[in-house]
Amino acid sequence: MADVEALLRSTMRRHATHAPVGPDLLAAVHARSHRIARRRRTAVTVLAAVAVPAALAVSVLTAVPRDAAPPGSVAVVPSTGTTPVSAPASSSPAATPPGQPPPALRLVPPASATPVFPYRPVFTPIGGLAAPVVTLVDGELTAYYAADDPVRGADVTIRVSARAPEFTDPGRPFHQTPQRVRGHPAVLRTVVMPPADRLSLYWMEGAGQWVRVDTDDTLTDADVVRLADALAPAAVPVVVPFRFDVVPAGMTVNTSTDSEVAFGVSAGAPAVDCTLLAPRALTGPTVRVGRYAATLRRTGAAATLTVALDDLGATLVVVVPARYPVTNADLIRFARGIQVTSQAQPRPTG
């Protein structure tokens, strides 16, 4: 149970402090760092992942018809890229009066379409860019474009957020220059670090929307500005690891990566978290979730349902914070209605 307990502690700590995380983005940055190192024949320097808190209103994932799998099962389903949806806004939970217990978690069918990443680069820098991988982490949409040419090219990451970027580069020298992008004032921030300086160009595109482009100095300042200036409207779907038969009423998805979906009432708030992990043995008394064995544990912090997806070589962990009381039957019903898509990748654990 050590891995599950670590996951629970990590999930609750993340939401308690309102601090965003991005394991998938970090992995992408690691890969980028390795490419830069090979290109310049220098030692690899792992870059610190920078995550920006956000409060985008996003939507939750749509259900897949149950005839796609045997009743009561968690099945692999094809990913169509047009599925995330949200519960009706009218289902939003009201504030709990002082001295009264919070309302029980209600499960409702999914309802509306998810937002998608709204831009695509028209100007392609030297070396070209691969198709994007789009994720949502604590309300921030991120499109990661790997360089097609690891020698001449550079990876590009584009972020869309409701809040201005915040940077944490302790001890790193940097300088900033004013720019103009898409008719808006912008800032180009250059952080000096080996093996490649990091470039970040950011601006307010409109009310409630900040856009940020990150790359390295393999591209010139003019290249970065040109790429940003030529962004075109698009509708690129986020990675969807799960589909849902029912979702928590009044909550939206504030995280969707290849291994995790989290529902909350706002970005950073304690959330119902669903994570796909590498397989491990269950310990303790078991319950049934469809055809799968599972364990259900309750603490003062949360209810945790761990489902052994033996035929998929993975483990599904569903964590519901204690502030959202849920019955055992509803927790099992929620997990039973989750289908694992072809985009899902179990997160490795130690």
Least confident piece of the model among 60-74, 87-101, 191-205? 60-74
Most confident of 103-107, 186-190, 269-273: 186-190
Q: How far apart are CA 159 and CA 139, in angstroms?
A: 11
Could you read off the pLDDT of 220-240 as tens digits, one per residue?
Answer: 999 999 999 999 999 999 999
Residue 26 has pLDDT above 70, yes or no: no
pLDDT (mean) for 323-346: 97
Residue with tokens 């310990």: 283
Structural domains of the chain in order of their starting residue, each with its CATH number: 19-52+117-163+176-236 (3.40.1000), 66-113+239-341 (no CATH)
Percent of the chain with pLDDT over 70: 70
- Cα torsion for 330, 335, 337, 342, to the nearest 10°? 170
Confidence at 170, pLDDT banded by 50, 70, 90: confident
Q: Are 152 and 127 in contact (CB under 8 A)?
A: yes
Q: What pLDDT is stored for residue 8 in this prediction? A: 53
Q: How far apart are CA 306 and CA 317, in angstroms?
A: 4
Residue environment code for 289-320, b if the CB has 16+ CB neighbours within 10 A, otherwise e:
bbebebbbeeeebbbbbbbbbeebebbbbbbb
281 DSSP β-pair partners? none
User: How does DSSP classify residue 64?
Assistant: P
Q: What pLDDT is stored for residue 74 in this prediction? A: 53
Q: What pLDDT is stored for residue 99 in this prediction? A: 60
Average pLDDT, the chain: 79
Q: Show the tokens assigned to 3.
A: 């891995």
DSSP states along 154-172: --EEEEEESS------TT-
Q: What pLDDT is stored for residue 75 in this prediction? A: 54
pLDDT (mean) for 307-327: 96
Residue 112 has pLDDT above 80, yes or no: no
Could you read off the pLDDT of 58-88 as tens digits, one per residue?
Answer: 333 433 333 334 434 455 555 544 333 333 3
Confidence at 40, pLDDT banded by 50, 70, 90: very low
Q: How far is CA 315 from CA 341, 345, 349, in A?
A: 14, 11, 11
Q: How far is CA 319 from CA 8, 128, 210, 301, 329, in A?
A: 7, 41, 31, 10, 14
Residue 4 has pLDDT above 90, yes or no: no
Q: How far is CA 343 from CA 39, 169, 316, 346, in A?
A: 30, 33, 15, 10
Name the nearest CA neighbour of 319 among 91, 7, 1: 7
pLDDT (mean) for 110-123: 87
Q: What pLDDT is stored for residue 10 in this prediction? A: 57
